[in-house]
Amino acid sequence: MYVYADILVLVNFVVDYFLIAISSRFLHKRPRLWRQLLAAFLGGIFSLYIFLPQSGFVLQTVVQLLMSAAISLTAFGFGNIKDFARNTAVLFTVNFAYSGAMIAVWLAFRPHGMAINNSVVYFDISPLFLIAFSTVGYFAVTFLRRLLQKNFSQSSICNVVIICGNNTLKLDGIVDTGNALRDVFGLSQIFITETAVIDAVMGAEKHNKARFRAIPCTTVSGEGLLDGYRIDFAEVWFENKKHHFKNPILAASTTPLDECKIIVNPDNLN
C-alpha cells in the first residue's frame, strides 16, 4: 500500500497530542497548550521514520526513547534531571503501550489501510474518525487513572494548614518520602512547597532575616541548598489524625509541585 507523508504526519500529530495529554494526566502536569501542540507536531515529524528500512527491536527502542525524550523536553520542559527522566519514562511507556496495542491489532486482523514499520503506525482513515477515536481513548484512560488513584493513592493525601502572622492558607498536600529533609539542629520539621505558597502565607515577613534558613539537600545532581522560611504554625490532617507543628520551616521547591502544593515528610507524623 502507499503511505502518504502528509496523512502520516497529520495522523501522528493527532495521536501524539492525545498521548501527551494522557501522559500529563499520569504526571499530574498541565503543560501550556502551545507546548503540547509543538511537541505533537514534533512527534508527527518523527513519524517519517516509517520510511527508513526496517530496524531491529533494540534500535527501534533506542530511537523511540530518544524521540520520547525530545517530545518530553518540548512538552514539559527540563526542570531537573530527575523530573526530566520521570517525564520521559512516562511518555515512553504510554507510547510503547500504544504501539504495542496497534501492532497486536495489525497482527491479529491485518486491517486494510493500516501499516506499521519501525513501530510507527500509519492509518489511511478519515482524520475526523481518528480524532473521535483518540478522544474516546483519552477519556477512557483518564477515567481509569482516576479510578486507580482513588483506590491506591488516596492514603498519601493530606490536608495542611499553614499560618504566619495574620495569614492562613489551607493546602492539599501529600505525605511522601520525596521530602526527607531534616533540620540540621533537629529542632524543626520541614515542609516542601512552592515559592508562590511561601509568598502568599508570609507576605512581608519573608524578608525578615530571622525567619530565613538555608536547608542542605541532596539531589541526583549533587549537594545543594534550598531556601527555607520559618513560619508560626502548621496543622496536618492525615488518616483522620491531626498533627500540630510549632515554628516549622517551609522549603522552597525548585520545581512545580502540580496538584498537591506541599510535601510532608512521613517521619514527621510518627
Give the chain's count of helices (H) and strands (E): 6, 11
C-beta of residue 193 within 8 angstroms of C-beta of residue 251: yes
State the amino acid at position 171 in one-letter form. Answer: L
Alpha helices in the chain (DSSP H): 5-27, 33-46, 57-76, 81-109, 127-152, 195-202
Query: Rounded to whole angstroms, how far apart are CA atoms 31 and 20?
Result: 10
What distances in angstroms separate CA 15 from CA 47, 72, 97, 144, 216, one per listed residue?
11, 15, 13, 19, 43
**pLDDT given for residue 52 in this prediction:** 64
The pLDDT-based confidence of 212 (bands split at 50, 70, 90) is very high
CA distance 238 to 270: 11
Predicted confidence (pLDDT) at residue 221 exceeds the cutoff of 50: no
Candidates 250, 81, 87; CA nearest to 179 is 250
Question: 31-40, 124-133, 195-204, 247-256: which range is least confident on average?
Answer: 124-133
For the stretch 47-100, pLDDT in tens is 776 666 666 667 777 777 888 888 888 888 887 788 888 888 888 888 777 766
Give percent of the chain with pLDDT exceeding 70.
66
Taking 70 as the threshold, does the pLDDT of residue 234 lie above it? Answer: yes
Euclidean distance between CA atoms 75 and 92, whole angstroms:
13
pLDDT, position 59: 73
pLDDT confidence tier of residue 220, bands split at 50, 70 and 90: very low
pLDDT at residue 2 is higher than 90: no
3 state DSSP class of 114: strand
pTM of the model as a whole: 0.45
pLDDT at residue 207 is higher than 80? yes
- For 28-42, write each residue's pLDDT tens digit: 777 788 888 888 888
Q: Is the pLDDT of residue 175 over 80?
A: yes
pLDDT at 139: 67
Beta bridge partners of 174: 157, 263
Does residue 188 surpass a pLDDT of 70?
Answer: yes
Per-residue pLDDT at 31: 77
Asked whether the predicted pLDDT for residue 233 surpasses 90, the reply is yes
- Report yes or no: 262 and 171 within 8 Å, Cβ to Cβ: yes
pLDDT score, position 36: 84
Q: What integer pLDDT is reported at residue 135 of this predicted model? A: 67
| Torsional class of 167: left (φ above 0), alpha (ψ -120 to 50), beta (otherwise) | beta
C-alpha gyration radius of the chain = 23
Choose between 254 and 119: higher pLDDT: 254
- Which class for 65: exposed (0-12), middle (13-18), buried (19 or more C-beta within 10 A)? middle
Predicted pLDDT at 248: 92
Establish how many alpha carbons lie within 13 A of residue 141's alpha carbon, considering only the half-sphere containing its beta carbon.
18
pLDDT at 246: 92
- Higher-pLDDT residue of 46 and 236 is 236
Please determine, for residue 168, whether its predicted confidence score (pLDDT) is greater than 80: yes
How do 233-238 and 120-123 pair as beta strands? unpaired
**Which pLDDT score, from 0 to 100, does residue 169 have?**
93
State the Cα–Cα distance between residues 143 and 29, nearest whole angstrom: 16
DSSP H helices in 47-80: 57-76
According to the model, what pLDDT value does residue 96 have? Answer: 77
**Which amino acid is it at 248?**
P
